[in-house]
Amino acid sequence: MEKALIFATGVAVGFVAGTRAGRQTYEKMRNQSLEVWHNPTVQEKVSDATHAVKGKAPQVQQKVGALAKKATHRGHDTSADVDSGTTGPQNGAAVVTAPAVTEPTVPAATTEGRHTLDQG
C-alpha cells in the first residue's frame, strides 16, 4: 500500500510539473507558429499557391474524370476474338472489372422535417 501511495504521489507531482512546463513550451511554439503564419512573405506564398491550385483545378478535375470513366469501362469489352473464338485477354490474365458507379441517393423527406434538404 505504501508503494502505491508513493507512486501516486510521484505521478501527481510529475503531472503538475509537466503540465506547467508543457504549457509554457506549447505557448512558445504556438506564438512562434503564429508569427510565421502572419509573416507577409508566408502569406504571399500561400496566396500564390492558392491561385495556382484554383487555376489547375478544372484541368485536374477533367483528367481525373476521364481516368475514372476509363477505369469503370475497362474490362467491359466483350467482343470476341474472331481468330480464336475466345473473349478477353489472350495472355491468360484475368479481367478485373470496376464496380458500377451509381448516383448518390437522397433521403426522402419525412413529415417530421428530418432528412430534408430544405433549410426553411
Whether the CB-CB separation of 104 and 97 falls below 8 Å is answered with: no
Cα 30 to its chain centre, rounded Å, is 25
pLDDT tens for each residue of 57-109: 999 999 999 999 888 887 665 554 444 455 555 555 555 566 665 665 555 55
The pLDDT score that the predictor gives to residue 41 is 94
Domains in the chain: boundaries = 6-67
State the cell numbers at 8: 501516486
**Dist CA 53 CA 61 (whole Å):** 11
Instruction: Quick: pLDDT tens for 26-55.
Output: 888 889 999 999 999 999 999 999 999 999
Q: Find, among 74, 101, 99, the residue nearest to 89 by Cα.
A: 74
Higher pLDDT pick, 99 / 114:
99
Whether the predicted pLDDT of 18 surpasses 80: no
